[in-house]
Amino acid sequence: MLALYSIAAGLGGVLIAGPILNALPGSVAALWGVGSLVVFAVGTITMALECLFDVVGIGLAVLVFVVLGNPSAGGVFPPPLLPPFWRAIGAWLPNGAGTSATRSIAYLGATRLTMPLLVLAVWAVVGVVVSLLAVHSRARGGRPVVAPPERG
């Protein structure tokens, strides 16, 4: 389901930013692929964190992808203009990798895509593997079952 959602979200994002608002030039198919991969990578890691830490995992995902990822992505200010900490982590988070890949497709003739796509793929694979391992290690493939309180 996450893969299908990612494909739909990637398409929706590229249609709004591209043909509808005319705000982002470049190949619709390539931008759709990058958008879908960003959504899938973030979704799998969020799911993995939730499998490992329950509802606290969602907070950890917000910390990584919103608090750390958005300022370091390099969208408004390119990486050379970011402070050193944000510049150092930006390219290694899905937000920054997605921004780099999108910038490359839209403005640089789709050059230098290998590293951003590799970063996104690694995040996606790690998220899937950790989620599967976490679910497999639990009783009945999910959260621990808690017996309902006895009525007496």
Q: What is the pLDDT of residues 30-60, one digit of tens each?
A: 999 999 999 999 999 999 999 999 999 999 9
Residue 149: the pLDDT is 73
Amino acid occupying residue 5: Y
DSSP 8-class letter at 139: G
Other C-beta atoms within 10 Å of 15: how many? 15
Length of the chain: 152
Cβ neighbours of residue 54 closer than 8 Å, sequence gap 6 or more: 143
- Higher-pLDDT residue of 92, 136: 92
In terms of pTM, does the model score above 0.75? yes
Residue 150: the pLDDT is 75
Residue pLDDT, tens place only, 130-141: 999 998 887 555
CB of 37 closer than 8 Å to CB of 121: yes
Tokens of 27: 């190949």
